[in-house]
Amino acid sequence: MGTFSYKKSNKLSKIAMLISSVLGLSAFSAVAAEVVDEKITVTGSRFDRTAEQQLTVINTIEREEIARLNPKSVADVLEILPGVSVSRNGGAGQSTSISLRGSNSNHVLVLVDGVKVGSATLGTVSFNTLSPENIERIEVLKGPRASVWGSDAIGGVIQIFTRQLKGGEWFAGAEYGNNDYIRGSFGAGLTHGEGSTTLSVNHEQSEGYDVYNGAEVENDDDGYKRSAISLKGSQQINSNWQALWNGQYDKGNTQYDDIYASGSADESDYENYLWNLATQYSRDQFISKLAVSQSRDHNENFRGDDASVPVSIFETKRNQVNWSNQYLAANELTFTGGIDWSNESVQGDYAQDERDLFGAYALVQKQWSKLLAEVAVRYDDVENIDSEVSYNASLAYQFNEQWRLAATTGTAFKAPTFNDLYWPGSGNPDLISETAESYDLTLNFTAKDVRAYISVFQNKIDNLIAWAPTGEKDDYGWDIWKPANINEAEIRGVELSANYQLFNLDHQLGYTYLDAENVQTGEQLVGRSENEFNYMLSYSWEQFDLLANYHYQGKRYAGNDEFFDATHKVDLSIGYQLDDAWSLRLKANNLFDEEIISAQNYFSPGREFFLSVSYQAF
């Protein structure tokens, strides 16, 4: 999990933190007003579920809220959620890591419209390549869900759904801001018989700023540009059969700093895509869906001012077949199950450059009056590595219309990447999968105008892959280091979320307390904040709307006995509706110009302003 340092906090302070969080949740029960809309999610089981049917913590962010946030990256959207921590190597176009509940960034499974994305060489996802303007909804599932989705879901699952419009609806927008930021976007919905298709296009670019503050590196602006096209549609063939399709294409360029001033690469081109074709059969209480998809992650690194520097190319291609089924039996009994197959291939001089992964899963959910139970089990076989059996068991009790208590336990795993196994000269083909076992206890409260929960969780991760000396020497007498399954970590925490209305204002707050430690040393893990807090306030009056967001991130260990200071960041968004279709929005990021460092010597942008105009026809 990286380098480790400062000692654990006093246990009494942890208990006090938990008690105060519980009291805070109880205080919200005194608030009352209009009804909160029901949320439908699919990530927990691959099929539509209401909040009452979910036994894991799932946060959702809808298109309307994304528009008011006016984010410059997907990380800007995710950061407002409790249990989600973001580390940036600069601004919107730079490398970004997302951690769920203190897990590693490569312990998060990321899906776009049900298709797994990311690099099989690095094991991570380039969030900086995804355009927020092409997103309809994001679902973030907390805790392991390998029993449904397979490898990578140790910390949780992030599923991104692309824009979807009805026939005849369309939108267009333009934006300008600091560092010569420019954005243009367009989308339209087309009706064809008993179906529709949405096309969304977005382009944005920025001259950027100098993201790295090292003493001997390039003192130049590090800009970026990215373009994205997404297509999403469905066609009702008859009363039982439906065809579905979606695709996304992302292309762009990112400039960064050669931090060692070695004359190596300082610029990167990427070209990623995915497509998915599916058919769904529905009859009475039975639904069956078969999907065939492909995703590619392609990246080229080079020296921007020296064409003689060779290009390094990293490419992952993933072919996938998914068959999912759901049957609603009598007496509130639901059966879900399916089969997943995928083939991952990489480009490069690897001893093995492709592998097959096979998984089969089954989930049963049963309701007895106020008691809801769920059991899920999955078998995965990863070629040339090992096989894993994962499970989830959950139980929830509905005390009354407002209060519900849910308990969950489960296991998860992360298969080694191609770099871990086969990187020329340093891979270790004897690696096994990282494994995890977790526990979660969540108290939910829902009233007329408030939805809140408090979740206490623990996640123990074994066989973590880290670099270690092999005991051998190279030709020059230096120790040979290779990846090995040597580390263990235990992560405990409290997560609190509340959405409520008070004094005609909408309030949304999230708080996470985290104790993430190295089991062997008792020291805290690098990059984790013990305390992280987000508060968002919004208000609408006639043609105006206002959104203010405050984010606090506590100090984090940075390695080498150094710490990143705690940071306070305030963003402000003001919208004005000119008429039914036209609107203006002014966005201020980091309003008080806070110096924010989330990775060593990498600075986030200072104060930024953006002005956008948009048109939406319904």
Whether the pLDDT of residue 33 is over 50: the answer is no
- pTM value is 0.92
Give the burial class of 71: count Cβ atoms within 10 A of its Cβ; 0-12 exposed, 13-18 middle, 19 or more buried. buried
Q: What integer is the mean pLDDT of 94-110?
A: 92
pLDDT of 5 reads 37
Please provide the DSSP assignment of 346-394 as one string.
Answer: EESS-S--EEEEEEEEEEEEEEETTEEEEEEEEEEEETTTEEEEEEEEE
Whether the pLDDT of residue 20 is over 80: the answer is no
Whether the pLDDT of residue 578 is over 80: the answer is yes
Residue pLDDT, tens place only, 205-251: 999 998 888 766 778 889 999 999 999 999 999 999 999 999 999 99
Residue pLDDT, tens place only, 142-171: 988 899 999 999 999 999 999 999 999 999
Distance CA 199, CA 247 (A): 10
Whether the pLDDT of residue 34 is over 50: the answer is no
pLDDT of 560 reads 72
| 609 Cβ contact list (under 8 Å, min separation 6) | 177, 178, 586, 587, 588, 589
Domain boundaries, the chain: 4-617
Task: Supply the mean pLDDT for the chain.
Answer: 89
Q: What integer is the mean pLDDT of 185-198?
A: 96
pLDDT band, residue 366 (cuts 50/70/90): very high
Q: Give the closest residue to 134 by CA, choosing from 40, 226, 253.
A: 226
Distance CA 291, CA 152 (A): 20
Tokens 């300008």 belong to residue: 176
pLDDT of 127 reads 87
Both structure tokens of 176 = 């300008």
- Please count the other Cβ atoms lying within 10 Å of the Cβ belonging to residue 30: 9
Distance CA 366, CA 386 (A): 32
Whether the pLDDT of residue 29 is over 50: the answer is no
pLDDT of 15 reads 39
- The percent of residues above 90 in pLDDT, for the chain, comes to 69
Instruction: Enumerate helices (H) and strands (E) in the chain, giving the number of each.
Output: 5, 37
- 4-617: CATH topology: Maltoporin; Chain A (2.40.170)
pLDDT of 38 reads 60
Q: What integer is the mean pLDDT of 572-587?
A: 96
Q: Give the closest residue to 208 by CA, choosing from 244, 237, 178, 185.
A: 178
3-class DSSP state for residue 556? strand
Higher pLDDT, 242 or 23: 242
pLDDT of 205 reads 96
Whether the pLDDT of residue 577 is over 70: the answer is yes
Q: What integer is the mean pLDDT of 433-454?
A: 95
Which of 16-30, 353-367, 387-401 has the least mean pLDDT?
16-30
Whether the pLDDT of residue 288 is over 90: the answer is yes
pLDDT band, residue 449 (cuts 50/70/90): confident
pLDDT of 1 reads 40
pLDDT band, residue 193 (cuts 50/70/90): very high
Q: What integer is the mean pLDDT of 372-395?
A: 95
Rounded to 5 degrees, what angle do the CA atoms 336, 339, 341 make?
150
Whether the pLDDT of residue 370 is over 80: the answer is yes
- The percent of residues above 70 in pLDDT, for the chain, comes to 94
Please provide the DSSP assignment of 388-411 as one string.
Answer: EEEEEEEEEEE-SSSEEEEEEEEE
Higher pLDDT, 564 or 463: 463
Whether the pLDDT of residue 3 is over 60: the answer is no
pLDDT band, residue 512 (cuts 50/70/90): very high
Q: What integer is the mean pLDDT of 580-597?
A: 94
pLDDT of 215 reads 63
Residue 145 phi/psi, 5-degree rounding, is: -140, 35
pLDDT band, residue 511 (cuts 50/70/90): very high
Higher pLDDT, 579 or 19: 579
Longest dimension (CA), the chain: 75
